[in-house]
């Protein structure tokens, strides 16, 4: 599935309309060796993945298996020791060179990283403001539009501490989408939420995804969430991380809650559970041995 | 179940205030204070050893009424406040940039930290003799000592504040295309504001302590001097008045800083 | 199998108690700060079953545990265990808390042996054997002489489970014990816990706000309303024991989950229309989403 036909991601500004949608990520033999206090920790070991442009890819695996390391490498916060990561055919980072963080690969963090000292409006328009790409008026209008599309009205001048956590998370996604990134990197963004709030978050994210068809790199521990949201689910082994299994989620889009009762969904869930559980047990036992 | 909206005035929750004023805890507190004052008065009248030597509440109140009408008393307030504010403000002018620089630049921190760490443990008052020597006027030497007290506190608090800025904010800002200047101006500064105000609150307390002591040792004006002078002159009730005045003066300055802090960091409301 | 294990196993198989909670109410504060936390709450903790209480956060679950444990008394209503009303805390109803309550100055095994030791119930050698037996069951035998700070979160939780269990309580009260653990550790703790339960069948009350955890563990699921809390619905969870993780991918599980979600939605809707907490704004949307789906 190519996205070159999709040259008009909706809900974003005029200037982005004619750029081809990108976000094809190619990870080849990525290896990461941490050296804290002289103890070599091999976080990733020849990890390879091919992510198509516009794919919603979900990474699952036991804690400490290197998922966040991968995400940090793509985002440009850390580098890798060897191997190479390309984006749209161009090298992003390798053992020799770390990537710089940029507005084409935006991260949404676990407990949210909305700037508490800025209002919602100031947060959402932060990207355009520092990049100087849009005038204040244009940015404001666009922010209002994106937020309205997410069902958030009238909170423009509130501080993050004044709105609920579900709203905060959506504002953060709005903030990311303002910059029309190629890749949306999400590190367990809905982890601390209860089942009810998660349902809204999912619907919201899927709306955004269906409209914009961005590549999404999503890390989670919630296996139901993984299958419900993802195009492909990548199961990682315990540390040092490799890809254990790739599961194709061949459920139709747009996804809604009715598919949760389908047979195919149940089959996929069982497959994922067994695979992850096996790795989780290994990781757990290894962890306990380490402490003994 | 209905939830009533709280009423705020000047940042204070009025309903909660009313609740706390009319609560059992407050009642017990007031009762305890009244009893203490009564015991104090009785000890004084009956010449109980040690406690009885403290001037009785009634004589203090009498002397207070007298003091409040003299110009000299209010002059003490003005003088002490001048000293406190001068030292404190200079400490902010030097302390805030230094703290920020130390927090942001590892090189700068490595160069300056050892010196700061060596000088910091020396209590400000220990600087009085040497400060009297190298500063041209006694007033300047006092302000210098005052400055030192607040300065080190500020630097330390700000340094801690900068180091504790959550890295996810910085990373988000980087991803969103910020330059280093943007990150400093829009992320580091606001994130550090709370610790700046913490430093100020602690610092003003230290400043007052230093000013009062310095006035007792080396000055002829101010609230500290008033207190000391009363001791020398044998005017004991005024000693107590001096102490209470210093306490109130210090409290006012802390409260002002707190209010200022709350206004400038509106996002820090506790939920 | 080690003959000592058999003997210890037989001894540990104890019967659970049955608790009846009738019409209890509890409120805090006076005047404008008055909060009716629990109102006219009725339910039964059936002997030998794992009952799970679930409800939105802040709805009074912890207060309920405090009442059942005897740390506080209800304003009205009765709580009985095996027909006798409760009079304050006792070793027949032990609590495992959210944050770890292990004594940091004692080692693992000292923590476990603490209860029986201060009561002088059993001889020291016998007590130590029993403690080691239980520790082995939860995989902590190598950590007997470590201090709590040297253990991981999951290990601390297991140590607490065992510390409660060794006192042979009639009822175990678990107050969101796995909260704050990362997802993987949490799942494995659930496994350890449910195995322990399935072996000794004490009466267990488990409080949580995680729906998947609730359905995975429960024999009976009680859904609490928002403040003031009362037991709104009781669902019998008829999934096969011993529970395995595969059960999460079965149709029956999904059916229970959806039913529970519907009820939770309705509760959230009620709390929104009467309470207007900002969190409820999300629930309001969730309700309308699910309704239209």
Instruction: Parse chain A into domains and list their residue ranges.
Output: 1-8+23-104+220-292
Q: Over the stretch A93-125, which tens digit does the pLDDT of each residue have?
A: 988 888 888 888 999 988 778 999 999 999 999
Contacts of C248 in chain A (CB under 8 A): 223, 269, 273
**C142 vs A contacts (CB less than 8 Å):** 292
* Residues contacting C199, CB < 8 A, separation 6+: C12, C13
Check A115 against B169: CB less than 8 A apart. yes
- Mark the ranges of chain C whose per-residue pLDDT is less than 70: 1-14, 56-59, 271-293
> Which of A199, A222, A284 minimises the CB distance to C289?
A199
What is the rounded average pLDDT for all residues in chain C?
A: 82
For domain A1-8+23-104+220-292, the CATH architecture is 3-Layer(aba) Sandwich (3.40)
What is the reported pLDDT for B254? 92
ipTM for the complex shown: 0.72
Which chain A residues are Cβ-neighbours of C293 within 8 angstroms? 256-258
Q: Phi-psi bin for A63: left (phi > 0), alpha (psi -120 to 50), beta? A: beta
CA distance A265 to chain B (A): 35
Q: Do C245 and A269 touch (CB under 8 A)?
A: no
Mutation target to probe the A interface, by most A beta carbons within 10 A, among C282, C286, C293 is C282
Number of B–C residue contacts, CB under 8 Å: 14
**Contact flag B1-C277 (C-beta cutoff 8 Å):** no
Please report residues of C whose CB lies closer than 8 A to that of B15.
32
User: B18 falls in which pLDDT band (50, 70, 90)?
Assistant: confident
Which residues, at least 6 apart from C93, have a Cβ–Cβ distance to it below 8 Å? C17, C19, C68, C69, C70, C81, C86, C169, C170, C171, C173
Q: For C238-288, write each residue's pLDDT tens digit.
A: 999 899 888 888 889 988 988 888 888 777 777 666 554 444 555 555 555
Give C-chain residues touching B1 at CB under 8 angstroms: 36, 227-228, 274-275
C247 to chain A, any CB pair closer than 8 A? The answer is no
Find the CB nearest A164 among C281, C290, C293. Answer: C281
Q: β-strands A215-219, A56-60: how paired?
A: parallel
Question: Which residues of chain C make contact with A261, given a CB cutoff of 8 A?
Answer: 251, 254, 258
| Residue numbers in chain A where pLDDT is lower than 50 | 1-19
- pLDDT tens across C37-66, in order? 888 888 899 999 999 998 766 667 888 888
- Which residues in chain A are contacts of C151 at CB distance < 8 A? 291
Confidence of residue B84 (pLDDT cuts 50, 70, 90): very high
pLDDT at residue A11, as a whole number = 40
Cβ contact B159:B102 at 8 Å: yes
| C166 min Cα distance to partner chain A (Å) | 23
The counts of H helices and E strands in chain A are 8, 10
Whether residues B174 and A101 touch (CB distance < 8 A) is answered with yes
This model's pTM is above 0.90: no
- The answer to whether A273 contacts C245, with C-beta atoms less than 8 Å apart, is yes
> What pLDDT does B110 receive?
94
Q: Tell me if B19 and C32 make a contact (CB, 8 A cut-off).
A: yes
Query: Residue B201's pLDDT is what?
Result: 92
Q: Which two tokens stand for residue C22?
A: 């009738």
Structure tokens at A54: 């516009």
Chain B partners of A113 at a C-beta cutoff of 8 Å?
166, 168-169, 171-172
- Residue of chain C whose alpha carbon sits nearest to that of B20: C33
Spell out which residues of chain B touch residue C275, defining contact as CB-CB under 8 Å: 1, 3
Provide the token pair at A68. Answer: 């966040």
Q: Show residues of chain B in contact with A158, CB under 8 Å.
A: none
B190 to A115: CB separation less than 8 angstroms, yes or no: yes
Residue of C nearest to B18 (CA): C32
SS3 track for chain C: CCHHHHHHHHHHCCCCCCEEEEEEEEEECCHHHCEEEEEEEEEEECCCCEEEEECCCCCCHHHHHHHHHCCCCCCEEEEEECCEECCCCECCEEEECCCCCCCCCCCHHHHHHHHHHHHCCCCHHHHHHHHHHHHHHCCCHHHCCCCHHHCCHHHHHHHHHHHHHCCCCCEEEEECCCCCCCHHHHHHHHHHHHHHHHHHCCEEEEEECCHHHHHHHCCEEEEECCCCECEEEEEECCCCCCCCHHHHHCHHHHHHHHHHHHHHHHHHHHHHHHHCCCCHHHHHHHHHHHHHC
Alpha-carbon distance of A92 to A85, in angstroms, equals 6
Chain-chain contact of C249 with A273 (C-beta, under 8 angstroms) = yes
The answer to whether C139 contacts chain A (CB < 8 Å) is: yes
pLDDT at position A95, please?
Answer: 84
A195, A198, A205, A207, best to mutate vs chain C, most C CBs in 10 Å: A195
Contact flag A277-C139 (C-beta cutoff 8 Å): no
Average pLDDT of chain B is 87
DSSP SS3 for A46: strand
Does C250 contact A at CB distance below 8 Å?
A: yes
Chain B adjacent subunits, 3+ CB pairs under 8 A = A, C
Interface contact flag, B2 C274, Cβ < 8 Å: yes
Query: Per residue in B207-257, pLDDT tens?
Result: 999 999 888 887 888 999 999 999 899 888 899 899 999 999 999 999 999
CATH topology of domain B65-268: MetI-like fold (1.10.3720)
Which structural domains are found in chain C, ordered by start? Answer: 3-92+169-292 (3.40.50.300), 106-168 (no CATH)
Q: Where are the domains of chain B?
A: 8-54, 65-268
Q: In this predicted structure, what is the pLDDT of residue B162? A: 93
Q: How far is A185 from chain C (nearest CA, A)?
A: 20
């Amino acid at each position: 599935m190519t996205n070159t036909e999709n040259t008009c991601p909706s809900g974003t500004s005029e200037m982005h309309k004619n750029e081809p949608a990108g976000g094809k990520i190619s990870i080849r033999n990525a290896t990461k060796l941490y050296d804290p206090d002289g103890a070599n920790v091999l976080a990733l070991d020849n990890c390879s993945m091919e992510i198509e442009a516009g794919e919603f890819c979900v990474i699952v695996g036991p804690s400490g298996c290197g998922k966040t390391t991968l995400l940090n490498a793509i985002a440009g916060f850390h580098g890798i020791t060897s191997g190479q990561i390309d984006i749209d055919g161009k090298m992003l980072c390798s053992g020799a060179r770390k990537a710089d963080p940029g507005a084409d690969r935006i991260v949404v963090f676990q407990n949210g990283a909305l700037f508490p000292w800025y209002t919602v409006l100031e947060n959402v328009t932060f990207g355009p403001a520092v990049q100087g790409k849009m005038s204040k008026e244009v940015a404001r209008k666009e922010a209002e539009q994106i937020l309205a599309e997410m069902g958030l009205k009238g909170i423009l001048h509130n501080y993050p501490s004044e709105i609920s956590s579900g709203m905060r998370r959506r504002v953060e996604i709005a903030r990311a989408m303002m910059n029309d990134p190629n890749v949306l990197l999400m590190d367990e963004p809905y982890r601390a939420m209860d089942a009810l709030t998660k349902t809204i978050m999912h619907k919201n994210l899927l709306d955004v995804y269906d409209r914009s068809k961005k590549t999404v790199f999503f890390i989670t521990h919630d296996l139901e969430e993984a299958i419900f949201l993802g195009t492909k689910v990548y199961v990682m082994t315990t540390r040092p991380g490799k890809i254990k299994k790739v599961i194709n989620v061949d459920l139709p889009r747009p996804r809604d809650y009715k598919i949760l009762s389908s047979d195919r969904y149940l089959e996929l869930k069982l497959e994922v559970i067994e695979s992850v559980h096996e790795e989780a047990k290994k990781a757990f036992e290894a962890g306990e041995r380490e402490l003994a | 179940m209905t939830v009533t909206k709280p009423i705020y005035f000047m940042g204070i929750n009025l309903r909660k205030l009313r609740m706390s004023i009319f609560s059992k805890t407050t009642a017990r507190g007031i009762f305890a204070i009244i009893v203490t004052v009564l015991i104090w008065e009785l000890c004084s009248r009956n010449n109980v050893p040690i406690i009885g030597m403290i001037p009785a509440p009634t004589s203090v109140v009498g002397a207070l009424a007298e003091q409040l009408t003299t110009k000299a008393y209010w002059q003490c307030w003005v003088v002490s406040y001048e000293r406190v504010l001068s030292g404190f403000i200079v400490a902010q002018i030097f302390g805030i940039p230094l703290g920020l620089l130390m927090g942001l630049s590892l090189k700068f921190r490595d160069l300056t930290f050892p010196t700061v760490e060596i000088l910091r443990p020396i209590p400000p008052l220990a600087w009085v003799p040497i400060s009297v020597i190298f500063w041209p006027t006694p007033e300047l030497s006092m302000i210098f000592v005052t400055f030192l007290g607040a300065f080190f506190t500020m630097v330390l608090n700000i340094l801690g504040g900068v180091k504790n800025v959550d890295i996810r904010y910085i990373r988000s800002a980087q991803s969103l295309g910020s330059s280093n200047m943007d990150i400093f101006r829009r992320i580091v500064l606001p994130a550090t504001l709370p610790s700046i105000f913490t430093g100020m609150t602690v610092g003003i307390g230290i400043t007052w302590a230093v000013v009062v002591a310095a006035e007792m040792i080396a000055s002829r004006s101010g609230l500290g001097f008033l207190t000391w002078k009363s001791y020398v002159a044998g005017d004991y009730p005024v000693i107590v008045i001096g102490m209470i005045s210093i306490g109130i003066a210090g409290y006012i300055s802390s409260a002002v800083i707190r209010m200022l802090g709350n206004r400038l960091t509106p996002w820090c409301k506790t939920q | 199998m080690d003959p000592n294990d058999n003997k210890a196993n037989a001894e540990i198989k104890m019967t659970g108690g049955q608790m009846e909670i009738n019409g209890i109410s509890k409120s805090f504060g006076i005047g404008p700060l008055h909060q009716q936390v629990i109102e006219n709450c009725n339910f039964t903790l059936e002997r030998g079953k794992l009952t799970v209480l679930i409800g939105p956060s802040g709805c009074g679950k912890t207060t309920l545990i405090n009442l059942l444990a005897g740390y506080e008394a209800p304003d009205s209503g009765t709580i009985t265990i095996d027909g006798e009303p409760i009079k304050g805390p006792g070793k027949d109803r032990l609590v495992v808390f959210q944050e770890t309550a292990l004594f940091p100055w004692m080692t693992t095994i000292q923590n476990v042996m603490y209860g029986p030791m201060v009561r002088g119930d059993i001889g020291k050698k016998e007590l130590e054997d029993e403690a080691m037996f239980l520790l082995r069951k939860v995989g902590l035998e190598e950590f007997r002489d470590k201090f709590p700070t040297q253990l991981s979160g999951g290990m601390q939780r297991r140590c607490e489970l065992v510390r409660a269990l060794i006192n042979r309580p009639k009822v175990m009260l678990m107050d969101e014990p796995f909260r704050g653990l990362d997802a993987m550790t949490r799942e494995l703790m659930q496994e350890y816990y449910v195995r322990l339960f399935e072996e000794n069948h004490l009466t267990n009350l488990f409080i949580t706000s995680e729906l998947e955890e609730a359905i995975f563990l429960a024999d009976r699921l009680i859904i609490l309303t928002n403040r003031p809390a009362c037991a709104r619905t009781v669902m019998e969870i008829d999934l096969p024991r011993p529970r395995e993780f595969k059960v999460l991918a079965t149709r029956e599980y999904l059916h229970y989950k959806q039913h529970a979600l519907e009820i939770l939605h309705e509760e959230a809707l009620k709390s929104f229309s009467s309470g207007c907490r900002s969190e409820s704004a999300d629930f309001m949307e969730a309700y309308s989403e699910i309704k239209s789906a």
